[in-house]
Amino acid sequence: MARLIDLRYARCRAKIRVDTKPRTVNSMPMFVIEREFAEKFEPDGETLRVVDEYNAEHDMKWLKSFLSADKKRTYCLYECDDIDALRRQAADLGLPADAITEVTEFAR
């Protein structure tokens, strides 16, 4: 089942849809990465392939991403062992990572 979670940021208010399946004991922590781009973000297939390859090599899983209406901000949901690995990913791939927040799922 999926639910809407209301996230409030300094300059915007975004609604993000995430799956609310219970986490298992062996699952990795989840993080939301907020990325702000100077221009509209319109990734091509090659860019997405490079990100997928990097993630596979570094034991992280890109679950979902959401794009703001102006196409200048993304909100990406990842499973990863630690926040520093996501910071390294952003630096290695030349992607912004304006905020990285560990998140958990909850049931209503």
pLDDT at position 105 is 86
pLDDT digits (tens, 9 = 90+) for 39-71: 999 999 999 999 999 999 999 999 999 999 999
- What per-residue confidence (pLDDT) applies to 70? 96
Kindly tell me if the per-residue pLDDT of 9 is higher than 90: no
- The CATH number for 26-103, chosen from 3.40.50.2000, 3.40.50.300, 3.10.310.70, 3.30.70.3090, is 3.30.70.3090
Structure token pair of residue 52: 């997928």
- Which has the closest alpha carbon to 14: 67, 63, 77? 67
Rounded to the nearest 10 degrees, how much is the dihedral formed by the CA atoms of 84, 16, 71, 39? Answer: -20
Return the pLDDT at 21: 52
- State how far the Cα of 104 lies from the Cα of 1, in Å rounded to an integer: 15
